[in-house]
A and B are shown apart, each in its own frame.
Chain A
């Protein structure tokens, strides 16, 4: 019984995630599909294969020089023996005759040549192969990213970003491990087969004597993997439980100390720690007996070679040099088997990763784009007409229910309403993040469903609450790569929205690089930057989700001033949280439970004494009470 049983452990509910699914089998279709990305680099891959074969051949030739030429021919003078030497003896004789040098020196030159060639081709193989694979996966990654970049908002409403991220990063990485493993196997199997071929040609009898050891190694490796895999899995589990426990204890340390739980919690942690140690010890026992066992097998082979080889030498069925050669090959025989065992796990993980990658690549979710989109008029007045708009994320719960109202060109509209009234969904529809159906939205009398979404987004400027700061300079963040927005235009926009002073105060002014998420900017500064960005774009319609974060009065004043300039003479739809913004609006739309509850000017609605008045007063009171 494990020690954790003695101490009660917390009970957690563990749900199944599709991330936990292991690849079931080797799916050839998937591998073939991956080859599609390798196509541009196929010549690299082919040359890698050629080089690995060449490298293996040379790697085998070198010991042949040592055994057959130096030992047999030069030292032992076993002339004319009928055993294979891969032409090395003739080559040696030729070199000696041609350059009049000592046969031993000639053999040294031969040996060194083959070693250099083996090293060069081995290196060449490593480089071309990894280049081909890395390029393949880089392209796969880019294609995957490209695909994800164009998935609509509705996809990201449902899926956790972290989950998508791991597909681009980790899953592709696993495929690399798989390919790298294949490369390693190729680098070992080719010499394996070359060595086996030569061994057979040197002495079939001796080769057959050695052969039974290989299945033993294979079985040992298989058994080791078999036994150790669950052990490693249980180590991973205890380790993650240890980390989970520690993390939770650190987060809740105040409660732990206040409630005097130090001893109990320590006992729990200690129990898991002990379980972990037991698991580690088990794995260690298995592991420390497997590694040396494989080494031991090579010594067994060595003694077989000397015993049977020796007797074959006495019977003149083999030369001493060949026996020597056999001892040099022992290593080449074992490595691929051991490597195969290591690869086995990766294959299954890679299959699961491949499945996840292709699932993401095959994800067909898109906004409906008309085949022949109507272009928006060049001179957009900015009239927005919303008719019988109904919307829901899931059919059971309607977010917007039959909404209709018209926004006149140049009008500034504030949308107010309690949380969950559908404000955000309404402006997301206006930006065409979703398909408008049922109901219609007309922009200057053009149904936006008939327009290319990209066209709409060029004409409607949007400032969202969670606006994104792109990595690049301040100027880049205003111009966003639009060549029409010159440096002067960007600065003018910044000046107008009061962003200029703080930008100039930055170390490098408009050329200051901003980190992603704008960590080096304050909240108010980021808001002003977003204003500058949208102003520089000069859209006919402005959609804005006002930030809820509380900011100091001075910044508040600056932002309100900027907002006034930004919306001046421009059709603006604002989800308003601030009293000033609401008051400045031409008309106010009150949403509640997905319906338009009230519409009118501030004074009208206050006079009416309905929901707006309550909301307004509540907001006012909250400001007062702090």
Chain B
């Protein structure tokens, strides 16, 4: 049951990660005004031999294919002249078919392989890039948007590289080949066919372009249909209480009718494309019949040449028929690439300074000197909707001139109302936000002068939101280092008062949680998140209001144990509960970003200020809550 957590093979990863980061595509600054399509070229360039090799193979295949009608001509001519030797023509056809098969299948494979490779590289590049970003980036590009870019836009780019490029080059080429073969067979007949071509091209281009636009409309119609149903079902109770069913059904009839009509229009366009192609090709055939028929009768053309012409017509028309589709594939691929580069060009806002030196050892002294922090107003009003107001308040000053020295080994509680700047203070220490130079110090060194990796590995922050990953519970606790032993996990779980919970699950540490696993309660999640921070045993521990869903009794229990666990090491705990704060050596009360009060529990109680007010209100509330619980219990009996 208790199988040990297997260590992850860590050595392989950094190489690949470094490679991906190093080989980042040239950014916008280095190539000003470059079109997104041009910026794709270096990506393909890494696989250029494969790409061009594939293209050449496909083109060769087309040459072989275009050669075929000449052997058909030979066959037909021998039939009409009663030449019994049919081996050369069919040998030619079969031979060409074989080499064509080989070259086309390998060619297609190679070109599409490049599409796969570029997608593969791009995925990792995006992933690595996301991991470097800070709150501003995620405020500007919400998760849903980034997902859409990583899925849809990448797909468009891949289609462009793997299929779009091939169609343009190859179909254009085969049209040209067919045309030149036709020229060599009969100049006048080819020239006679030239006037028909613009019609075929025009119809093919315009209709197939419209088909693509209509198909986007159909897709949009589908999603608005789904949305309408979803909204409607969400409000079904209101609809039923107000007897609005009939009206909503009528509206749905409209939406679904419009969708069907849009779809129908799409089908109409499809049918039109087919019909026009058949008609125009028919006209070209009639021209061949008229001229060729007479020429054969006059013996200026052989019947085989006549047949070959009809076959070439098919080869020449095919690329034209698909031209609109190719154009739209390019347009879409180009806009997808643009959206990808927009994200990739975003410079990480929080980076290591160029001359960082790790400290040999961190004691855990923290100092703030005249620290002020204002959240930058960088987001547009449109984007602001998607932003967690805790991470980015728009242009709001969060801290004003905060100065404080925290000794190594001290426990400090930070108390204040919502929005008083408590979380901001903690985030600045671990550089989830960047402080101004010379305002935040660790062991006397400006935090900006230390490598980010060291700061974050020596200072553990347990965030307010207990985000757990959809993985086993034990692996969530040993999140920072999967090679930790099970004993260490249990110790951390015990410190966070989670062992009892874990023991209640049949799979214990191996219990899968989140998404489709066991759903933990808010308090259990917070305790798991706490265990995840405690297991790291860092010189500095920052707890950002991580007891809000834990009941007071359990909290007391955890905090009293934490005292001995963390003795001699620095701990900062943010809370809005007095019961949490009283455990600390000193208590810092923040009010609207200013330091309002600072002192021990006893000192502040005596002072009779904000802290004392909180204590009184919260004490009364606790009593009332207990009363209520008792009374409910009585009713239940």
Chain A positions near chain B (C-beta within 8 angstroms) = 6-8, 10-15, 62, 66, 70-71, 74-76, 104-105, 107-108, 111-112, 115-116, 118-120, 122-123, 126-127, 130-131, 134-135, 137-138, 141-142, 145-146, 148-150, 153, 156, 161-162, 164-166, 168-170, 173, 176, 242-244, 246-267, 269-270, 273-274, 276-277, 280-281, 284-285, 288-289, 291-293, 295-296, 299-300, 302-303, 306-307, 309-311, 313-314, 320, 323-324, 327, 418, 431, 433, 454, 457-458, 462, 464, 466-471, 480-481, 516-517, 533, 537, 592-593, 595, 597, 610-611, 614-615, 617-618, 621-622, 624-626
Contacts and interface: CB of A to CB of B under 8 A. Distances in A.
A107 to B, nearest CB: 6
Contacts of B63: none
Interface size band for B? 35 or more
A611 B632 CA distance: 8
Contacts of B68: 299, 302
Given A134-B264, A267-B13, A13 B249 contact: no
B303 A249 contact: no
A262 B9 contact: no
Nearest to B264: A134
A212 to B, nearest CB: 16
B453 A260 contact: yes
Contact of A138 (B12, B260, B285, B470): B260
B100 A75 contact: no
A296 B101 contact: yes
Given A288-B112, A592-B635, A266 B124 contact: yes
B131 A253 contact: yes
B259 to A, nearest CB: 8
A250 B241 contact: no
Contacts of A265: 131
Contact of B482 (A150, A264, A467): A264
A122 B271 contact: yes
Given A259-B480, A324-B76, A264 B8 contact: yes
B-side interface mostly = helix
10 contacts: A70-B293, A104-B297, A169-B229, A249-B130, A250-B138, A266-B13, A267-B12, A310-B86, A467-B238, A468-B238
Interface in B233-256: 233-245, 247-249, 251-253, 256
A6 B297 CA distance: 74
B485 to A, nearest CB: 15
Given A251-B467, A277-B116, A418-B628, A597 B635 contact: yes
Given A118-B278, A300-B94, A621-B617, A255 B105 contact: no
Contacts of A626: 417-418
Nearest to A617: B624
B256 A263 contact: no
Nearest to A262: B131
B467 A254 contact: yes
Nearest to A616: B624
Contacts of B289: 66, 70, 104, 107-108, 111
Interface stretch (B144-152, B333-341, B493-501, B567-575): B144-152
Contact of A127 (B9, B112, B271, B475): B271
Contacts of A481: 244, 247
Interface in B270-309: 270-272, 274-276, 278-279, 282-283, 285-286, 289-290, 293-294, 296-297, 303, 306-307
Interface stretch (B208-216, B358-366, B402-410, B511-519): B511-519
A-side interface mostly = helix
B182 interface: no
Nearest to A137: B260
Contacts of B260: 134-135, 137-138
B482 A320 contact: no
A270 B624 contact: no
Contact of A277 (B120, B146, B248): B120
A540 to B, nearest CB: 15
B303 A75 contact: yes
Contacts of B413: none
B478 to A, nearest CB: 10
A265 B130 CA distance: 12
B108 A292 contact: yes
Contact of B8 (A8, A11, A134, A255): A8
A516 B131 CA distance: 36
Given A280-B116, A592-B635, A466 B235 contact: yes
B472 interface: yes
A560 to B, nearest CB: 23
A130 B131 CA distance: 48
B13 A284 contact: no
Nearest to B621: A621
A237 B515 CA distance: 17
A163 to B, nearest CB: 10
Given A259-B479, A320-B303, A126 B271 contact: yes
Q: Which of A292, A307, A324 has the most C-beta atoms of chain B within 10 angstroms of its own C-beta?
A: A292
B471 interface: yes
Contacts of B270: 126
Contact of A480 (B89, B101, B244, B621): B244
Interface in B91-124: 93-94, 96-98, 100-101, 104-106, 108-109, 112-113, 116-117, 120, 123-124
B397 interface: no
A336 B550 CA distance: 66
